[in-house]
Amino acid sequence: MTIADQVYTFGTGENYHLQNYLGVHPANGEAGYTFRVWAPHAEKVQLIGDFTAWREKPVAMTRNEAGIWETTTSLAQEGQLYKYLVTRNGGQVVEKIDPLATYFEKRPGTGAVVKPLKEKKWKDSLWMGRRKRFGFKKRPVNIYEVHAASWKHHNDGSPYTFKELKEDLIPYLVEMNYTHVEFMPLMAHPLDMSWGYQLMGYFAFEHTYGSPEEFKDFVEACHQENIGVIVDWVPGHYTQNDDSLAYFDGTPTFEYQDHDRAHNYRWGALNFDLGKNQVQSFLISSALFWIEHYHIDGIRVDAVSNMLYLDYDEGPWTPNKDGGNRNLEGYHFLQKLNRVVKDYHPDVMMIAEEATAATPITKPIEEGGLGFDYKWNMGWMNDILRFYEMDPIYRQYDYQLVTFSFMYAFNENFILPFSHDEVVHGKKSMMHKMWGDRYNQFAGLRNLYTYQICHPGKKLLFMGSEFGQFLEWKYNEGLEWSNLEDDMNAKMRHFTSQLNAFYKEHKALWQIDDSFDGLEIIDADNKDQTVLSFVRKGDKGEMLLCIFNMTPVERPDFKLGVPVAGVYEEILNTEREEFGGVWKENNTVTATEEEKWKDYEQTLTFTLPALGASIWKVKRRFQSKKKVAQKKVSEAKKAKK
């Protein structure tokens, strides 16, 4: 693409690789570097840095018709720091970051680094080929969510870098049988307290976590172990720090013209003007940059509701031109984002964190949807956690909290999340949420995770929850790995590992996640005993019978109708001793009996463990006596003819 084309498409919102033009680049055919920055209403922009003694000898920049300032200088050398000295519209002089920088100095500094990105010779072609061939819709997706700065800390309190995470985290992911790892934002941000959700540099890797090269090596190593990598990304709002994107040239540049729309009062941030063409080029280029430069397998778009609804924030708002609350610019931007990403990379997952039902999130764009692949099922998450926190005595009265999700399970393509948001700010850890004494808390947690695995939808679990960490997550500390010295926590981690392996092994749990073709409810009315049962089905006849006892009462001689006559084998019992329970072995192999039970002609009788989940498969099928008799009658009639 020529320079003229770069400038033109930037202005039309169709420059999807903006980093190839703006930012810093080796000078074309001469020594030094070329710097370009968009500041359309600035009175003057100068380049400052190590090579100008900062403000002592600034380098002048010239402005083109698109509001882009440019200079080429032989003074700059690789590894030096730089910023832009912007004389804003109105005369105020401020030092600004390079919005297209791919490297920044260590915090608290915000200087960009003169350092062109180096291309990697990737060794993950096998993974990338499989990803392209098989996609992810009919594949297992079980995500381990990680905050890179707090998974593990050194003795001095410093977090692991990705070089160290490659050595420790990847073997852990393999051991725990996860299919994907998802990182909270890895883009440059000025404050750890934001967890990375108030970004500064949309093309820069956060220096706290190591170097971009280390992260690329991490992704490559994940792919070599058949693990996908997903990254959170925040296109709705950004940090309001004055040295970053905020009012870059003294006027609303990246943010909305309207003051209330520009300011995110709830989060103390600024909202992108998603209807501005240049902002669209900037953001879509950022998304594609992370996908292409780092071989990312998925992007989770944060806070989609904030981009969709004008009244989502706590401040004043003005209805749209139709009198409604929909942010029309945000709606069309998200459609455009997904359309462009899918045009370039149809095998990359696009995931929305969105909590409302007013807009179809995963429906096709041509049907009025946003075109995401998945939406976090926040309703399911809230209902199910309320239920499992409840004293079992009262669960029969709120049984709909468990069953209601089946009413809308296929309205969208869902991910079932137990994320970082559920284990902070006094909400308690996943283990601490569970009812009862320590034994019953672990039993409840095993039951809950098994229900998540069996329920239609892809899965996500936040770090530390897999072994039942008791304390809430703290962004500035490592996980409580010392918990694993306790036998119950160690068995909980073993259980989660085995449950994850079980999920991957059984296609019925992930092949058909988007329709009732993969689900058959057996009994969702057993409020008195608070037992739920259903069947999950694969596309080639595989079938799993899933039963959940949600009270601490063992139920011997529990009888249940089943759709297939045969011999059944219990293949998972959450109350086994090896998992922290009291059962030494599973239920014995059991044959069905011909008996009417609701709409079923066959029943299965077994012992249902207290506060336990029990999963069965058909070991051998046989025809019921009724079907055999019908067959004989049919054959006799044919013989008479």
User: Residue 342: which of 367, 370, 368, 307 has the closest Cα?
Assistant: 370
Q: Is the pLDDT of residue 637 over 70?
A: no
Q: pLDDT band at residue 638, thresholds of 50, 70 and 90?
A: low
pLDDT of residue 254: 98
pLDDT of residue 116: 86
Task: Respond yes or no: is residue 302 known to be catalytic.
Answer: yes
- Whether 481 is covered by a domain: the verdict is yes
Contacts 24+ apart (CB under 8 A), 354-361: 354/304, 354/305, 354/308, 354/378, 355/305, 355/379, 356/305, 356/308, 356/309, 357/408, 357/411, 358/308, 358/309, 358/326, 359/308, 359/326, 359/331, 360/412, 361/304, 361/412
Q: What is the pLDDT of residues 400-419, one digit of tens each?
A: 999 999 999 999 999 999 99
Q: Is the pLDDT of residue 503 over 60?
A: yes
Cα torsion angle, 569, 575, 580, 585, sign: negative
- What's the domain count of the chain? 3
Average pLDDT score over residue span 41-53:
97
Tell me: do 499 and 595 sit in the same domain: no
Residue where a domain stops, chosen among 504, 526, 550 = 504
Mean pLDDT of the chain: 95
Percent of the chain with pLDDT over 70: 97
pLDDT of residue 370: 98
- Whether 640 is covered by a domain: the verdict is no
Task: Respond yes or no: is residue 383 known to be catalytic.
Answer: no
Per the listing, tokens 């109708």 go with 561
What CATH number is associated with residue 529?
2.60.40.1180
Q: Please answer whether residues 179 and 127 qualify as being in contact, where contact means their C-beta atoms are separated by less than 8 angstroms.
A: no
What CATH number is associated with residue 394?
3.20.20.80
- Whether 203 is covered by a domain: the verdict is yes
Q: Is the pLDDT of residue 474 over 90?
A: yes
Q: Please answer whether residues 395 and 433 qualify as being in contact, where contact means their C-beta atoms are separated by less than 8 angstroms.
A: no
Tell me: do 346 and 467 sit in the same domain: yes
Q: Please answer whether residues 410 and 517 qualify as being in contact, where contact means their C-beta atoms are separated by less than 8 angstroms.
A: no
Tell me: do 175 and 59 sit in the same domain: no
What CATH number is associated with residue 22?
2.60.40.10
pLDDT of residue 118: 86
- Whether 338 is covered by a domain: the verdict is yes
pLDDT of residue 175: 98
**HEC secondary structure over 566-582:** EEEEEEEECCEHHHCCC
Tell me: do 387 and 437 sit in the same domain: yes
Q: pLDDT band at residue 541, thresholds of 50, 70 and 90?
A: confident
Tell me: do 301 and 386 sit in the same domain: yes
Residue where a domain stops, chosen among 113, 137, 165 = 113
Q: What is the pLDDT of residues 304-358, one digit of tens each?
A: 999 999 999 988 999 999 999 999 999 999 999 999 999 999 999 999 999 888 9
Tell me: do 93 and 224 sit in the same domain: no
Tell me: do 420 and 500 sit in the same domain: yes
Q: Please, what is the end-to-end C-alpha distance for the chain in angstroms? A: 78
Tell me: do 474 and 611 sit in the same domain: no
Tell me: do 525 and 479 sit in the same domain: no
Average pLDDT score over residue span 163-182:
98
Q: Is the pLDDT of residue 633 over 60?
A: no
pLDDT of residue 626: 62
Residue where a domain stops, chosen among 455, 474, 504 = 504
Q: What is the pLDDT of residues 114-123, one digit of tens each?
A: 998 889 999 9
Tell me: do 479 and 552 sit in the same domain: no
- Whether 510 is covered by a domain: the verdict is no
Two tokens at 610?
């207290």
The pTM (predicted TM-score) of the whole model is 0.95
pLDDT of residue 641: 60
Tell me: do 393 and 496 sit in the same domain: yes
pLDDT of residue 624: 63
Average pLDDT score over residue span 56-61:
98
- Whether 573 is covered by a domain: the verdict is yes
Question: What are the CA-CA distances from residue 223 to residues 129, 216, 328 (Å)?
Answer: 11, 11, 38
Q: What is the pLDDT of residues 68-127, one digit of tens each?
A: 999 999 999 999 999 999 999 989 999 999 999 999 999 999 999 999 888 999 999 999
Q: Dihedral through CA 500, CA 506, CA 509, CA 512, nearest 10?
A: 140
- Whether 368 is covered by a domain: the verdict is yes
- On the 0-12 / 13-18 / 19+ scale of CB atoms within 10 A, 606 is buried
Measured distance CA(185)–CA(205) in Å, rounded: 9
Measured distance CA(121)–CA(458) in Å, rounded: 32
Tell me: do 247 and 382 sit in the same domain: yes
Which one of 206, 302, 329, 570 is the catalytic residue? 302
Q: What is the pLDDT of residues 225-274, one digit of tens each?
A: 999 999 999 999 999 999 999 999 999 999 999 999 999 999 999 999 99
- Whether 168 is covered by a domain: the verdict is yes
Which one of 182, 220, 353, 412 is the catalytic residue? 353
pLDDT of residue 29: 80
Domain extent, residue 73, equals: 3-113
